[in-house]
Amino acid sequence: MTGVVEVNFDGLVGPTHNYAGLAAGNVASRRHAGRVSHPREAALQGLEKMRDLSRAGYAQGVLPPQQRPDLGFLRRLGFTGSVGEVLSQADRQAPALLRAACSASSMWTANAATVTPSVDAPDGRVHLTPANLQSGLHRCLEPVTTGRILQAIFADAERFAHHAPLPATPAFADEGAANHTRLCAEHGAPGVHLYVYGREALGQAPGPRRFTARQTREASEAIARQHGLGEAQTVLARQHPEAIDAGVFHNDVIAVGNGPVLLYHEWAFADEDATLAALREKMPEPLIPVRVPAEAVSLDDAVATYLFNSQLLSNPDGSMTLVVPGECEHNEAVWRTLQDLILAGHNPIGEVRVKDVKQSMQNGGGPACLRLRVALGEAERAALGGRVLMDDALHDALVGWVGRHYRDRLAPEDLADPLLVDESLAALDELTGILQLGAIYPFQRGA
Ligand code: SUG
């Protein structure tokens, strides 16, 4: 496969973006519960990140949001009648279900799927498994439509292999690429896959005490098996339970890898030495670990600023750029560590770009949560369906679309407003036209 680059597919923030505090173990989501959100600003912040990175020469894609409120979910739970009746019954009888049905959480596409590039798969195809996201009620609504969207974009069966999500049961709780890091010399070279899990469903490893770990070892193993990866290509590591209890609900909140570089906090892994040793043993090229000790950045600061939820991007000259959330700039210890330890250290990271994704951050999603990494060769990129690769024209079309359809603000009580349904469906219908994706949404398929 020639011309392999990493395409970052960012999730477009949907029109119902709101703060309902739904996410377990996610400090920011809980802290902002009940606040007024700003969907238009949220979507524009995401689009600005996409445009900035595509203009800087990084391959950038976009994934559409999901249909919300999820009326099909509410109807399945016994709410009946017109749209207005379903919403008002749910609001009165089970407001938590209404909030789950309205979450715009599909924006965090690092949780959409796990992807293995064709260079690593035995059949030479790109493999994709939508995450079952079964550990959160609002998120377990995503996999079916995620699968449909991925099938529409990665449609060529000779190049792309789609797997069903793992069984949606606690033993196979899977949160997708947020717990998966591929290390390699460069994107087109064979990689070693680091899967990080928080608990064992069938084994005895001690889990966190305060929060439930979201990813199981059994889920990570099953994904590697589905994608045909052998033992020589995979490393499994347990997340440090204390990090999970401090609010590190995914590995990508405490570590990020790219090429041979692994930037991580000393509390990322339960057994740091064994994890690095296993990577070194399996990687053909030397691992470049960039370790941030707790005395430089505390776990609390890591969680508050999302320093590690950064995108680490490869540049043509071999250097790398770290795309960090704006919150890092306002924390002295984190900013100093970025300058003195990360940028000044002996590693390829030579530049920091700061991005404001505050609307997403307040729900616990930083720059890295907002994107799904897919390493693709030239021919694979040419085979993509739809109009999903970002350029200025697509950016401008999407900014115009947001301006036409999104509300400036959403308060918790607005979620029961039937007009929000009409507005969202009109927006999504137009969006499938812009992205040329066909009927991906339930309402377009007569459901
Ligand atoms: O699953 N937040 C998401 C944030 C996901 C971040 N993703 C990565 N780290 N890759 C979550 O915790 C909050 C939604 C709400 O409260 O409405 C939420 O789901």
Cβ neighbours for 315, distance < 8 A, ≥ 6 positions apart: 321, 350, 351
Do the domain assignments include residue 216?
A: yes
Residue closest by Cα to atom 11 of ligand 1 = 23
Strand partners, 103: none
Contact 174, 131 (CB under 8 A): yes
CA atoms of 230 and 303, how far apart (whole Å): 33
Q: Supply the pLDDT for residue 371.
A: 98
Ligand 1 binding pocket includes 60 (Cβ within 6 Å) = no
Do the domain assignments include residue 87?
A: no
Residue closest by Cα to atom 1 of ligand 1 = 23
Do the domain assignments include residue 82?
A: no
Q: What crossing angle do the helices spanning 418-434 and 392-405 adopt, rounded to 10°? A: 160
Alpha helices in 71-216 (DSSP H): 71-76, 83-93, 95-102, 143-153
Ligand 1 binding pocket includes 301 (Cβ within 6 Å) = no
SS3 label, residue 347:
coil
Do the domain assignments include residue 162?
A: yes
Do the domain assignments include residue 74?
A: no
pLDDT tens digit at each of 447 positions of the chain: 889 999 999 999 999 999 999 999 999 999 999 999 999 999 999 999 999 999 999 999 999 999 999 999 999 999 999 999 999 999 999 999 999 999 999 999 999 999 999 999 999 999 999 999 999 999 999 999 999 999 999 999 999 999 999 999 999 999 999 999 999 999 999 999 999 999 999 999 888 999 999 999 999 999 999 999 999 999 999 999 999 999 999 999 999 999 999 999 999 999 999 999 999 999 999 999 999 999 999 999 999 999 999 999 999 999 999 999 999 999 999 999 999 999 999 999 999 999 999 999 999 999 999 999 999 999 999 999 999 999 999 999 999 999 999 999 999 999 999 999 999 999 999 999 999 999 999 999 987
Q: Supply the pLDDT for residue 23.
A: 96
- For the record, the structure tokens of 79 come out as 């709410």
SS3 label, residue 155:
coil
Ligand 1 binding pocket includes 367 (Cβ within 6 Å) = no
Report which DSSP code applies to 351. E
Q: Supply the pLDDT for residue 446.
A: 85
Ligand 1 binding pocket includes 22 (Cβ within 6 Å) = yes
Containing structural domain, residue 187: 5-68+103-445
Q: Separation of 275 CA from ligand 1 center, angstroms?
A: 26
**For residue 360, what is the domain's CATH number?**
3.75.10.20
Contact 350, 320 (CB under 8 A): yes
Name residue, tokens 């339960």: 270
Do the domain assignments include residue 302?
A: yes
- Taking CA atoms, 94 is separated from 37, 78, 235, in Å, by 21, 11, 43
Ligand 1 binding pocket includes 23 (Cβ within 6 Å) = yes
Q: Supply the pLDDT for residue 289.
A: 98
Show which residues are catalytic: 175, 250, 369
Ligand 1 binding pocket includes 21 (Cβ within 6 Å) = yes
Q: Supply the pLDDT for residue 397.
A: 98
Do the domain assignments include residue 78?
A: no
Name residue, tokens 């970025």: 338
Q: How many domains does the chain have?
A: 1
Strand partners, 372: 9
Mutate to test the pocket of ligand 1, among 68, 362, 369, 372 (most ligand atoms within 8 A of CB): 369
Q: Separation of 74 CA from ligand 1 center, angstroms?
A: 21
Q: Which atom of ligand 1 is nearest to the CA of 176?
A: 10
CA atoms of 90 and 97, how far apart (whole Å): 7
Q: Supply the pLDDT for residue 160.
A: 98
Do the domain assignments include residue 401?
A: yes
